Structure 1
Amino acid sequence: MTVNEQGTQSSVVFTPGRIGPLTLRNRIIKAATFEGRTPDALVTDELIAFHAEVAAGGAAMTTVAYCAVQPEGRTQGGQIWMRPDAVPGLRKLTDAVHSQGAAAQAQIGHAGIVANSTSTGLPALGPTNRWDPAKAKFSRSATVDDIARIARSHGTAAELALESGFDSVEVHLGHNYFASSFLSPKINKRKDEYGGSFENRSKVALNSLRAVRDRVGDRMAVTAKMNMDDGVAGGFWIEEAVRLAQLLEAEGLVDALQMTVGSSPLNPMYLFRGEAPIREMAALMPPVRKLGLKVVGKYMLHSYPYEPLFMLEQARQIRAAVKIPLILLGGVTDLAGMNTAMESGFEFVAMGRALLREPDLVRKLQADNATRSLCIHCNKCMPTNFFNTHCVLRPESPSMPTMLATPTMAAAGEGAMVP
């Protein structure tokens, strides 16, 4: 923090930062939050307005989520999946973001066992056949051909994102989505070349990123959202996360990493912290699912105390192991926290819920260093991703529908919000 000629404080947070070939106007990124504004799996004017508002509010880059690499890889049937038909709308979106001086990033990936097969009409794929009590369905074991197809489609999705005007892609390697589920010893029980050792379990993540880099090279920034731990006993943990980060750096597969935690199917609240919005989620469900959630919700959706910068200590272990830029996520809500991140060696910070509450928070922070986010971390934004992701405390918030057909606890835990 320095004092400028006018006597006001300035921070490195508001100076330009570089991710691969991309220079951002400041160090604050809008993290991925599934927006719930793509009912036909295509861009709408509402989605464009959502991201244009964030860009106008001062963020250096806004992340569009979720852009699945295959139609079965969506957490909800209405999510965008990357195909030529999606390009014109995505181009309108990136043009709108660029007109506000910000960069646009597409989060790409495959939801794997988190996918909602009821709404997509396609099987959810994972390392092995797995019963999901939240969906009352089995996910299917991905074949070797499925794994190769999904890796290739990451490259295709990245190239489509480049054609659509995106400045960066973020590859999803977290929350026990497809790649993350293969990384998890708890979920991945395969006996072939994709199971067992860390080297085998990491192949899905590495091959997906290789496909991306092969297709886009250095024509756009390539980042990844990577778990540090799943938040469940026997899952992926920090020691292996350090090894994976080092592999990604050694191969030059990413220009930056955003660290995260949690498992959408097994422990989603570990990512969010704060109270689980069980009552609000139950209100959206049909009677049988509503009753089930009320009975077992507190056992499936654990609550963790919220605290500022709640991923910082774990992320410091990644910071000590690699030299590539890192993006700190989790409880970033004020300039003091951002400065702490910069002083700890992180080049960027990411915000999710805070920018849902105040899309113009970055400009407010620039105007008044003492500004604090109005977000109270109530997590009541989580259930809104089923129809129109928003902060329920904003005066212009849309009303909540009384029931949706097939929302699931797992879907509510991911794609919707990030810390």
Structure 2
Amino acid sequence: MLDPLGPAVLGPVTLRNRVIKAATFEGATPGGLVSDRLIDYHLAVADGGVGMTTVAYLAVSPEGRTHADQIHWRPEALFGLRRLTEAIRATGAKVSAQIGHAGPVANGASNGAPSLAPSRAFNPLSMRFHRVPAAADLDRIVGDHARAARYAADVGFDAVEVHLGHNYLASAFLSPRLNRRTDRYGGSLARRADFPRRIVAAVREAVGDRIAVTAKMNMRDGYRGGFDLPESVEFALMLEADGHLDALELTGGSSLMNPMYLFRGAAPVKQMAARMPMPALLRVGIRASGHRFFREYEWRPLYFLDLARRFREALSMPLILLGGITDLPAMRTAMAEGFEYVAMGRALLREPDLLRRIAADGSTRSQCIHCNVCMSTIYTGTECHLA
């Protein structure tokens, strides 16, 4: 069995252990630039012992941001990103950049540019309709991913994680409910998968073997008519056959339709309504009936394991398991089940040094209570209110 705390190879990169800090938006990029707070945020978990930390979320296009105060890849952002990578790598940890296009999750009003969705739909964040991208728009966005990956390699990132999940643009194209197109990008899974596969291929071509390339993809969107088994397994097999990824991270849920399917635990509806940037009418609606959108799912250790087993059985490529991994027994279970890496999120926000303490004492348990109040802080500076 693999040792979760032992060295590991991820493509061309050697990690000091098999634990990756999952991409969770930090809310620390005012003006769309790196801040000292962002660097300190990742330094804390790097000093805390993770093998690699993931910077989220770095949009490939201006309209691909979820909000205006978010980094998008451009020359003005590169100096700060290099400061960040140099600081992280000095600790002995590696650093990955999550790249992608928010698509229908973007706030077009904040960005000053229409949000994009595979098919016509209303965007409650901006109180206007999404724009449906033409083939030329999709070609441009594929190129934007390649450019972002080159930038990431140039400024010192050890890896890029291509965001194919949570109904961001690539994920939205995979969803039968969100993608009702009748052109070459809609209909069968092969057609819906074409755009995401082109993105991954372009990223790999852009960086070669300079850095590792991973992707985060949904196993299940978590709503009726969304992307789900068995299509998600079939799509993962396509990605494996394409041969462009060094590892695949398995996730679930939709930032657009069912966010709590990813997080599990309590749904902090009041805090979300009070602190998240949204139109006043939507804020009132969230306060009144937010539990219909922010559904509550029981948190339990390794809550994605049952789903992820289907992928482990079908695939031979390295897989990253996330979801309810907060202690050494859970990590060892993941390794015993055949997963090569594990990803941790909220537990490291509560205790950035958790992994170092686990390495010193294998009986250490996380103090995270899965209240998810941290979700409401992602645009004001992500933090644990108990830390």
- In the alignment, does 2:143 pair up with 1:152? yes
- In the alignment, does 2:381 pair up with 1:388? yes
Equivalent AA in structure 1 for residue 45 of structure 2 = V
Q: Secondary structure at the match of 2:314?
A: coil
Which of 284, 299, 308 aligns to 2:292? It is: 299
- In the alignment, does 2:98 pair up with 1:107? yes
TM-score by length of 2: 0.97
Q: Secondary structure at the match of 1:145?
A: helix
Equivalent pair of 2:18/2:341 in contact (CA under 8 Å): yes
Which runs of 5 or more structure 1 residues have no equivalent in the other structure? 2-10, 395-419
Q: Secondary structure at the match of 1:107?
A: strand
* In 1, Cα distance between equivalents of 2:35 and 2:290: 33
- Deviation string 1:39-63 (CA, Å, 9 cap, x unpaired) is 1111111111111111000000000
* In 2, Cα distance between equivalents of 1:93 and 1:175: 26
TM-score by length of 1: 0.90
* In 1, Cα distance between equivalents of 2:218 and 2:281: 33
Equivalent AA in structure 2 for residue 227 of structure 1 = N
Equivalent AA in structure 2 for residue 358 of structure 1 = E
Equivalent pair of 2:250/2:322 in contact (CA under 8 Å): yes
Identity percentage over the alignment?
55
Q: Which residue number corresponds to residue 215 of structure 1?
A: 206
Which of 317, 325, 332 aligns to 2:310? It is: 317
Equivalent AA in structure 2 for residue 21 of structure 1 = P
Q: Which residue number corresponds to residue 301 of structure 2?
A: 308
Deviation of 1:75 after TM superposition, in Å, equals: 0.7
Q: 1:155 and 1:287, CA in 2 relative to 1: closer, same or farther beyond 3 A?
A: closer
Q: How many residue pairs align between the two structures? A: 385
- In the alignment, does 2:177 pair up with 1:198? no
Deviation of 1:131 after TM superposition, in Å, equals: 1.1
Deviation of 1:132 after TM superposition, in Å, equals: 2.8
The 4+ residue runs of structure 1 with deviation greater than 4 A are none
Equivalent AA in structure 2 for residue 25 of structure 1 = R
- Deviation string 1:34-92 (CA, Å, 9 cap, x unpaired) is 11110111111111111111100000000001100001001111111011221111111
* In 2, Cα distance between equivalents of 1:391 and 1:117: 28
- Deviation string 1:292-325 (CA, Å, 9 cap, x unpaired) is 2111211111111111100001111111111111
- Deviation string 1:339-376 (CA, Å, 9 cap, x unpaired) is 00000000110001000000000001001100010100
Q: Which residue number corresponds to residue 284 of structure 1?
A: 275
Equivalent AA in structure 2 for residue 388 of structure 1 = G
- Deviation string 1:276-302 (CA, Å, 9 cap, x unpaired) is 110111222675443221112111111
* In 2, Cα distance between equivalents of 1:135 and 1:383: 18
Equivalent AA in structure 1 for residue 33 of structure 2 = L
Q: Which residue number corresponds to residue 237 of structure 2?
A: 246
- Deviation string 1:97-141 (CA, Å, 9 cap, x unpaired) is 011000000000000000011111111001011113454321111
Which of 359, 367, 371 aligns to 2:364? It is: 371
* In 1, Cα distance between equivalents of 2:162 and 2:282: 32
* In 2, Cα distance between equivalents of 1:217 and 1:147: 22
Which of 25, 41, 49 aligns to 2:40? It is: 49
Aligned-CA RMSD value: 1.2
